[in-house]
Amino acid sequence: MDASEQEIAARALSVPEDTIVEACGDPPLPELGVIEQVWDTDPIPSAEVAARAVQAVESLSFADVPDGGEVALGVGSRGIANLPTIVGGVVEAVRDAGYEPFVFPAMGSHGGATGEGQREMLNELGVTESAIGCEIRSSMDVVEVGRTPDRDVPVVADANAVDADAIVPINRVKPHTDFDGSVESGLSKMLVIGMGKQRGAQIAHKWAVDWSFRKMIPEITGQLLDELPVVGGVALVEDQRDETTLIEGVPPSGFLDRERELLETAYDLMPKLPFEDLDLVVFDRQGKEISGQGLDTNVIGRRPFSINEPAPEKPNIKRIYTRGLTEKTHGNAMGMGSADIVHEDVAAGLDAQTSLINALTASTIRGVKLPPVVETDRAGLVAALSTIGVVDTETVRVLRAADTMHLQRLYASPALVAAARDRDDLRVVEEPSPIEFDDGQFAAPSLRE
């Protein structure tokens, strides 16, 4: 299906604004101002990022790696700040130490579960051979390197990485969207799921139904560290502004213990919505580079399709309206099922095959259920607000954000603007004014534009 056919199909699914208004009435909508979260951050200066990556590698031991040996560097599909610079620094340090580095995609089934698709995802993130100064070997081939002792689960890993003399995963440590545990998204998960490619990711997600990720990932990580020449990893932590605040070399002995400590730091630093009880949150976009579930479950307080895991206790959001997909997600709308209503642009940008492959691999097919589709932003607001009970425009609690990663500046309804004035961690940037629409769509830009 080409783009024009996709747009025609999306329009067939979407409900016109007139129909929504006829069904819900034509209620007044709240005015929106702009508020800003006050964050105290300490990012690594951009000029020092590459040098910090070099130092991280220099802290690892390559004593068992033969001179001139190949070192496989695992890189994922997430939108990590400064990723090409960090990977380039790691490449430089490995080569200066007398070894030959190459990069392999460690991203499970992403990129449509094809080698070329995963190479293209790295390219979109700026990780190209010319940018990082080394070869990229992208294949979906895996090798079985063992089986778990108690459950006899196959443990697989990227064939190119297995053939190397050393392996160094490079990944951000952060809260995971699907589960809570001592280690979540980071070096260990990259080894177990990312490096396992589509087959390893599917095995892990299937077994997680009965086993749980919180138990599986530490056990299989230990087995992979025993079986493969993992000399350590380069761990990254980002602050609330999505800026690199830590780059650290983690030896194999610290994969679980040090990751646990870094995860606590990441929880403290991750951006969050500044209110726990909200009537409606509008997100301008979702995407795989924003979160593995498109909308970060830790931000929205919803985990409706996770595997035997409870949802976060807060925030409590009555309705979520999502307006579109990011360009870099390449139509992967994984997690769109978290929204209550979506704009026609979500349906128009949806790649059903890519999304379903991701959902099947992750055993979370509810995550790609398409919510009700509306033609315009005004229709989205009317539909959402008409289903939460009696709405007073002065007291209704509405936010609009760019996405779940970029949360410093937010459009806010009068009640939330008033609340922001009494808090030291918030400041009012613009007073509330009527929402401006252009043919039913928001005239005011995204706060990331």
Convert the pLDDT of each residue in 143-180 to its tens digit. Answer: 999 998 888 889 999 999 999 999 999 999 987 655 55
By DSSP bridging, strand 244-250 and strand 233-238 are antiparallel
Quickly list DSSP for 404-425: SS--SEEEE-HHHHHHHTT-TT
Bond before 315 cis per omega within 30 degrees = yes
The whole-angstrom separation of Cα 192 and Cα 201 is 8
Quickly list DSSP for 312-336: PS--EEEEEEE--B-GGGTT--TTG
The whole-angstrom separation of Cα 190 and Cα 39 is 29
- pLDDT higher for 433 or 269? 433
pLDDT given at position 449: 57
Instruction: Render pLDDT for 15-50 as a digit per residue (tens, 0 to 9).
Output: 999 999 999 988 899 999 999 999 988 999 999 999
End-to-end CA, the chain: 30
pTM for the predicted model, two decimal places: 0.76
Angle at 56 between CA 225 and CA 61, to 5 degrees: 50
pLDDT given at position 138: 97
Spatial contact of 118 and 366, defined as CB atoms under 8 Å apart:
no
Contacts of 226 (CB under 8 A, 6+ apart): none
Instruction: Render pLDDT for 54-106 as a digit per residue (tens, 0 to 9).
Output: 999 999 999 999 999 999 999 997 779 999 999 999 999 999 999 999 999 99
- Residues 337-361, mean pLDDT to the nearest whole number: 91
Confidence of residue 1 (pLDDT cuts 50, 70, 90): low
Confidence of residue 348 (pLDDT cuts 50, 70, 90): very high
Residue whose entry in the numeric block shows the structure tokens 């602050």: 239
Quick one: which of 25, 19, 168, 157 has its CA closest to 91?
Answer: 168
- Residues 213-228, mean pLDDT to the nearest whole number: 87
Report in angstroms the alpha-carbon separations of 262 from 50, 154, 213, 222. Answer: 20, 29, 18, 18
239: alpha, beta or left? (left if phi > 0; alpha if psi -120 to 50): beta
Confidence of residue 307 (pLDDT cuts 50, 70, 90): low
Spatial contact of 398 and 279, defined as CB atoms under 8 Å apart:
yes
